Structure 1
């Protein structure tokens, strides 16, 4: 998460994970919400930079990226669990 710092990344990660949890109707712990938000932001930021050469900036932009990335991670995890 570009330019928000460690504390900001934790706050954004927790909020994004909570948003994704509500959108995807999953039941996660606070720690899992933070991890999903941070990892989702990392994955989607990497994809956005690889495809478009840029990503959304600022706290709000990174919150959107992290929430969408966390939703994608939950979706992929459900696909993997369903196939097993």
Structure 2
């Protein structure tokens, strides 16, 4: 996502800023499918839990799902960037 928003000349110090901008300017505008908003929400929640919950242990199935989600977003971003360049 950061690679995409960098093309607009913007960056944010916090993940939440990157996510909010990406949703507003790329998902809401239809450039990326709305399913990516759900993936981003899921990923952000798990990231937050793993960072701040002292007793959080990621489950194997959850980890597999997150890797799949990361690959989907990566592929979508890569495809988008190739359409531009």
TM-score, length basis structure 2: 0.37
**Structure whose alpha-carbon radius of gyration is higher:** 2
TM-score, length basis structure 1: 0.37
Q: Which has the higher contact order (CA 8 A, sep 6+)?
A: 1
